């Protein structure tokens, strides 16, 4: 997703001379082409993400559109005061980009993970929160942000689901995409873990359980209409996120449904439960350890529906 984001910015930079890309001293392998072509639209702020956020707010208030770029929790949780006070309060035209959302940087430990960011960023006034699930969504979200005015958060995963876009499909921020239809249960996922939801849907289909799979690429604002339809038309909803369950996607879904007065047959939140992702290993390994992978999703859905799980899962 990172590569798609940078390619999109590089492609569109000539049409947006007011846009600046700020980085916290990383990403040079992937940024080299952009830096060479647009040196006046790039600034390395150094390992000083809080300063980067304050600087971005000031540049935005002077008429620029600014992207801040760093990994894991660094451009978000480390900078929350500057994001709240400088960017959101002033509705500054700053886009915060996290590369390596969730446990993408599994081998370097939980300090580099972003597993509370959705909950915190979506709580901030004026903030748009985008969390694409595949490469097409990542490219389209990046393209959209170049024309969007105001604060936004783009959460990019190292993993990505297989291509899900239909021919001639348009990207609609604030919407939820139905990437697979079904009536037995709804799997609502955000970010690259959408791939695990699709794989779980394949496994469950072999058991005669047909899942509606939703890609929630926009966590704020949340698409209440698609969620209420899913709650009414399927047997229950399972939210899936590489993130803490407290305040994340599952919380956003529950809030939307309760306020709409629509109650699913059941609801289960799959995510980290009151724990840090302190195990070290690949992203796929950590998903297995913390019961976030396709096998865990399959077991959860099967248990709720009273269907036995194949031994291989």
- pLDDT at 311 (0 to 100): 52
Q: What's the average model confidence in pLDDT over 97-126?
A: 96
Q: What's the average model confidence in pLDDT over 114-127?
A: 98
Q: What's the average model confidence in pLDDT over 114-133?
A: 98
Q: What tens digit of pLDDT does each residue of 41-82 get?
A: 999 999 999 999 999 999 999 999 999 999 989 999 999 999
Q: What's the pTM value of the predicted model, to 2 decimals?
A: 0.96
185-189 and 152-156 beta bridge pairing:
unpaired
- pLDDT at 312 (0 to 100): 47
Which of the four pLDDT bands, split at 50, 70 and 90, describes residue 29? Answer: confident
Q: What's the average model confidence in pLDDT over 211-217?
A: 98
- C-alpha dihedral sign at 303, 207, 209, 191: positive
**pLDDT above 60 (res 313):** no
Which of the four pLDDT bands, split at 50, 70 and 90, describes residue 33? Answer: very high
| CATH value of 177-305 in 3.40.50.720, 3.40.190.10, 3.40.50.920, 1.10.260.40 | 3.40.50.920
Q: What tens digit of pLDDT does each residue of 223-277 get?
A: 999 999 999 999 999 999 999 999 999 999 999 999 999 999 999 999 999 999 9
Which of the four pLDDT bands, split at 50, 70 and 90, describes residue 309? Answer: low
Question: For residue 115, how far is the Cα from the chain centroid?
Answer: 11
Report the alpha-carbon distance of residue 137 to residue 155 in Å, rounded: 11
**pLDDT above 80 (res 17):** yes
218-220 and 128-130 beta bridge pairing:
antiparallel
Q: Fold identical between 2-156 and 177-305?
A: yes
**pLDDT above 90 (res 202):** yes
Q: Domain residue spans in the chain?
A: 2-156, 177-305
Q: Which CATH fold would you assign to the domain 2-156? A: Rossmann fold (3.40.50)
**pLDDT above 80 (res 3):** yes
- pLDDT at 297 (0 to 100): 98
Report the alpha-carbon distance of residue 299 to residue 200 in Å, rounded: 9
- pLDDT at 264 (0 to 100): 97
Report the alpha-carbon distance of residue 44 to residue 24 in Å, rounded: 6
End-to-end Cα, the chain, rounded Å: 28
């Amino acid at each position: 997703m990172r590569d798609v984001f940078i390619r999109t910015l590089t492609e569109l930079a000539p049409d947006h001379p007011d846009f600046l890309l700020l980085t916290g001293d990383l990403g040079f392998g992937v940024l080299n082409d952009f830096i060479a072509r647009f040196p006046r639209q790039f600034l390395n702020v150094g390992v000083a993400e809080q300063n980067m956020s304050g600087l971005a707010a000031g540049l935005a208030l002077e008429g620029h559109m600014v992207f801040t770029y760093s990994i894991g929790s660094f451009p978000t949780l480390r900078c929350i005061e500057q994001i709240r006070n400088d960017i959101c309060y002033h509705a500054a035209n700053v886009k915060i980009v996290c590369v390596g959302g969730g446990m993408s940087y599994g081998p370097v430990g939980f300090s580099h993970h972003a597993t509370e960011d959705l909950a915190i960023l979506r709580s901030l006034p004026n903030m748009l929160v985008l969390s694409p699930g595949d490469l097409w969504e990542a490219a389209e979200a990046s393209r959209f942000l170049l024309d969007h005015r105001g604060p936004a958060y783009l959460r990019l995963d190292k993993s990505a689901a297989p291509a899900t876009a239909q021919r001639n499909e348009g990207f609609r921020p604030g919407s939820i995409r139905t990437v697979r239809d079904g009536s037995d249960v709804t799997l609502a996922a955000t970010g690259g873990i959408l791939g695990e939801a699709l794989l779980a849907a394949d496994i469950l289909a072999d058991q005669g359980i047909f899942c509606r799979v939703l890609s929630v690429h926009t966590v704020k604002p949340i698409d209440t209409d698609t969620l209420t339809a899913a709650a009414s038309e399927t047997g229950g909803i399972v939210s899936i996120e590489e993130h803490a369950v407290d305040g994340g996607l599952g919380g956003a879904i529950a809030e939307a449904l309760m306020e709409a007065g629509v109650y699913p047959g059941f609801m289960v939140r799959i995510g980290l439960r009151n724990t840090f992702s302190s195990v070290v290993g690949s992203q796929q390994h950590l998903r297995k350890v913390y019961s976030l992978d396709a096998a865990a999703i399959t077991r959860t859905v099967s248990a709720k529906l009273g269907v036995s799980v194949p031994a291989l899962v």
